[in-house]
Amino acid sequence: MKIVEVSSTPAAAYAGLLMAQLGAEVVCLGDDTLDPATARYVNTGKTRECVDLTTSAGVTHVLDLVHDADGLVEDLGSHGLDDHQLSLRRLRRRNPRLVVVSISPFGESGPHAEWHASELVTQAMGGMLQSTGWDAEPPLKLAGSMAAFIAGLHAAIALHAAVFGVRTGHERPAHIDISAQETFLQHWSRHIGQWAYSGAGQRRDRRTLDGQGVPSMARAADGWICLAVRNARWNTVADLLGLHDFTGDEWQTPAARVARWAEIAPHFEAAMASRTRDEWFAAAAERGLIFGPVHDLHEVLASEQYAARDYFTVGPDQARAPGLPFRWED
């Protein structure tokens, strides 16, 4: 399988990376606007060429490349191919079986089709920032290029499926229009069930302990651990933490514990510091409670779980990088 990638953001670049990891020959015609660390990662396993699409020679070179390609993925913006004299009709004249996947902030139709957007704008208009940060404070951008990478993941899946359909004769060549806003919104759909079953909408937490009456993050002996005990019985939590002096009726509500947290805090902090994150994780699981160790990047790279699943790949420069975000067996 041969794929031509024309990328100006991490979205198409990540789609191309996934296709390369799936075994495709990927010719990357990306520009140099990506930061060096991101470019080093997303360009792994590709043949990279510098092409100026503002010149007739550059456009001709793209047409020559797609002549024997199975697919093209690009993120030049809404109708960006047309703007660079690479219309779908012109591409199809060169290769009638070509599958084209176009990624843009809002898709190629609708009132926002011509709008430009940054990563922050896509996250905000995709709905996710409504729940980031703290209540009554400004929303916070999620780290990295999450919206672009999610759009790239959808693009790679769609491209691979479409090429397979064309090759097997089950589908005709398609132009797949991917909106980064829409793919990011997909990850908001989990809250539909929350509304359906409880009638509760999603909101950001306050900078207090009101939700569960204990901190959601605490220091264990070897680092941070998160405590997701909002719906747990307080006495079960207190028993795990050894806070037996705080299990009477007067301590049962989160509001009561918040109001008198100064009395609990020294005992809580000492208890948390007495065990490692993994020890707390195991002890909590035995009681049906959710404690989650917080791993930094070094711990992620050293994780035996990732190692057992051969998740990380090693590039030509011996740097490890994430592999495919899905697995299958023949």
Residues 82-101 pLDDT 10s? 999 999 999 999 999 999 99
State whether 244 and 102 are in the same domain. no
State whether 182 and 240 are in the same domain. no
State whether 144 and 246 are in the same domain. no
No. of helices (H) and no. of strands (E), the chain: 15, 11
Cα distances (angstroms) measured from residue 38 to each of 69, 89, 123, 144, 292: 26, 33, 19, 10, 28
State whether 35 and 127 are in the same domain. yes
Residue 320, Ramachandran bin (φ over 0: left; ψ between -120 and 50: alpha; else beta): beta
What would the mean pLDDT of 130-141 be, rounded to a whole number? 85
Assigned domain for 317 exists: no
Assigned domain for 134 exists: yes
Assigned domain for 232 exists: yes
State whether 99 and 243 are in the same domain. no
pLDDT for residue 26: 97
State whether 172 and 263 are in the same domain. no
Assigned domain for 300 exists: no
**Whether pLDDT at 61 is above 70:** yes
Residue whose C-alpha is closest to residue 101's, from 226, 205, 4: 4
* Token pair listed for 19: 């296709």
State whether 16 and 141 are in the same domain. yes
Domain of residue 94 covers: 2-188
Comparing 105-119, 126-140, 143-157, 234-248, the range with the smallest average pLDDT is 126-140
State whether 181 and 283 are in the same domain. no
Q: Tell me the torsion sign for CA atoms 205, 190, 159, 178.
A: negative
Assigned domain for 231 exists: yes
Q: Which residues, including other chains, have CB under 8 Å from residue 108's CB and lie 6 or more apart?
A: 78, 79, 102, 177
DSSP assigned state of 70: S
* Token pair listed for 209: 């302990």
Backbone angles phi, psi at 47, to 5 degrees: -95, 120
Residues 268, 194: Cα–Cα separation, whole Å: 31
The total number of residues shown for the chain amounts to 330
Assigned domain for 165 exists: yes
The label of the residue with tokens 């959808």 reads: 154
Q: What is the total count of domains within the chain? A: 2
State whether 164 and 262 are in the same domain. no
State whether 286 and 170 are in the same domain. no
- Here the CATH number for the domain that contains residue 288 is 3.30.1540.10
* Token pair listed for 93: 């004249």
Beta bridge partners of 176: 101
Residue whose C-alpha is closest to residue 72's, from 120, 132, 27: 27
**Predicted confidence (pLDDT) per residue in 293-317, tens digit:** 999 989 999 999 999 998 988 876 6
**Whether pLDDT at 281 is above 70:** yes
**Whether pLDDT at 319 is above 90:** no
State whether 160 and 237 are in the same domain. no
Residues 303, 293: Cα–Cα separation, whole Å: 12
Residue whose C-alpha is closest to residue 102's, from 174, 35, 169: 174
**Whether pLDDT at 198 is above 80:** no
Assigned domain for 26 exists: yes
Residues 70, 34: Cα–Cα separation, whole Å: 26
State whether 242 and 179 are in the same domain. no
pLDDT band per the 50, 70, 90 thresholds, residue 192:
low
**Whether pLDDT at 196 is above 80:** no
What would the mean pLDDT of 110-138 be, rounded to a whole number? 89
Residues 301, 303: Cα–Cα separation, whole Å: 6
Cα distances (angstroms) measured from residue 107 to each of 80, 117, 119: 11, 12, 15
Assign 230 to helix, strand or coil: coil
Assigned domain for 254 exists: yes
- Here the CATH number for the domain that contains residue 58 is 3.40.50.10540
